[in-house]
Amino acid sequence: MPIADKILAKFAKLKGKSLSLASRATLICSVITGSFVHSFMVYKWLVSLIQMVTKKIINFLWTGSCEESKLVRVARNRCCKPYALGGLGLKDLALLNDSLLWKLTWKLITLKNFAFTFLPERDILHLVFMARVQWSDLPVEILPIIFQKLKDPCDAYRCVLVCVSWKSIVTTILPPILLLSNVGKDKTGYFHFKASLNKQSCSLFNTQTNETHEIFLPEVENCWFSSSSFGWLLTISFEPPDEFHLLNPFTRDRIQLPSAKQFSRPYDLRVITSTTPLNRTCLVLAISHFKGVLAFCRPGDKYWTFFEDCRRCLEDVTFYNGEFNAVNSFGHLFHLHCHTPATQKVLRYGRLTSCSLGNIITWWSWMANFYWLLTALPLNTLQNMVELGGDWRYGMYRQ
């Protein structure tokens, strides 16, 4: 307190009123702040004292006297930025105090000075900083990185059961899983249901072990469903008719989409999303193969917005590198622009020459059972898988 008083007493001597704003700022930076440093290096000042001093300094800066206050138009933390960042170069006193004390702490730990070695706290501080780490000390931001590396969904879902905080982390990042639709195309091209409609479960295909599992899911009762992106399911209910939802089979989150009435035949629809549907900025793209209909919406929209010029036999769409890409039966790749309804456009991008990816996608998409494959996996994974060879594909085909 006496130090603060002494420093503030300096203000009285300064003829603040006769100085310009810039010169007052310079005065504060050089003379006033400097006089705190010595005391700050050793003592931790009371918060209330720092606030009081800061208030007087700000008053002096704007009015020229530390007793008169005035409505200030520039926020203090903006004034406290360095010149280069558009501030006045003032110092935040609380921060200055903390950093100077940390500097002292640092010296205590690291300096091999004779006098410092006598301090008993030095050993304790050393222990605190150098303690051997344990797995439970792992920073929280590392865990999601590890979970993303779990390729087998079984492993990820077992991690759900480890503890409550893990559950909340794991359910945000699910590894690619393949959820099988309950609709298939028979040889004549008609759609039929592969299982009874009142079943309360859906099938999950594990690409790592080539096994299918049944997962309990009461929400899909009386629904047609197929896989969408990010491990979500698209469900279209029969009762009430044509209600569209995106459903997360593990967290059971449900997002309503605009009604399916705008589509004449919703049962060969494929829906993919740009991010997880929980994100409000997510774009939902729907493609119907039967009539070549392409539409998009955002969660919460009332209607689907249709692409006007999409009669180009688009076979399939996928989201890759921040853009929706579509491919037609000739292997042409298209970028789809659907940021605002007014400018939606299908832009021709180019023909795929190497490895005829287009044909592969077409090949997949013609088999109604495999719509989900593209949605569940990013484009590059698909390429790798195709390179893996024929047996795997045959295995999938037999599902």
Partner 1 sequence: MASSSSSSSTQVKKITLKAADGKHFEVEEPVAMEMETVKSFFVGNEDAMKDMVVPLLNVSSEHMPAILDFYRNHSEFRKRTPPPPAEEVKAFNEAFLENKSDEQLMEMIMAANFLNTKELLNFLTEAAANRIKNKSVEYVRAFFGIENDFTPEEEARIRAENEWAFDGLDED
CA distance 372 to 245: 16
Nearer to partner 1, 69 or 148 (CB): 148
Nearest residue (CB) to partner 1, 157 versus 307: 157
How far, in Å, CA of 63 to CA of 61, rounded?
A: 6
245 burial level (CB within 10 Å; 0-12, 13-18, 19+): buried
- The amino acid sitting at 319 is F
Could you tell me if 232 and 246 are in contact, meaning their C-beta atoms sit under 8 angstroms apart? yes
Nearer to partner 1, 115 or 140 (CB): 140
Q: Are 373 and 207 in contact (CB under 8 A)?
A: no
Q: How far is the CB of 116 from partner 1 (least distance, A)?
A: 15
In sign, the C-alpha dihedral spanning 47, 48, 53, 58 is positive
Min. distance of Cβ 115 from partner 1 in angstroms? 19
- Least Å distance, CB 124 to partner 1, is 16
On the 0-12 / 13-18 / 19+ scale of CB atoms within 10 A, 219 is middle
Taking the complex as a whole, the smallest distance from the CB of residue 244 to partner 1 amounts, in Å, to 25
357-365 helix and 379-388 helix, angle to the nearest 10 degrees: 90
Please, which residue, 69 or 165, has the CB nearer to partner 1? 165
Q: How remote is the C-alpha of 354 from its chain's centroid?
A: 33
State both tokens at 235.
Answer: 């469900």
Cβ distance to partner 1 smaller for residue 126 or 339: 126
Q: CB of 395: closest distance to partner 1 in angstroms?
A: 18
Query: Which residues are near partner 1 by CB under 8 A?
Result: 110, 129-130, 132-139, 141-142, 145-155, 157-164, 166-167, 204, 209, 213-216, 250
Are 277 and 289 in contact by the 8 Å Cβ rule? The answer is no
* Smaller CB separation from partner 1, 36 or 232: 232
How near is the Cβ of 305 to partner 1 at its closest, in Å?
37
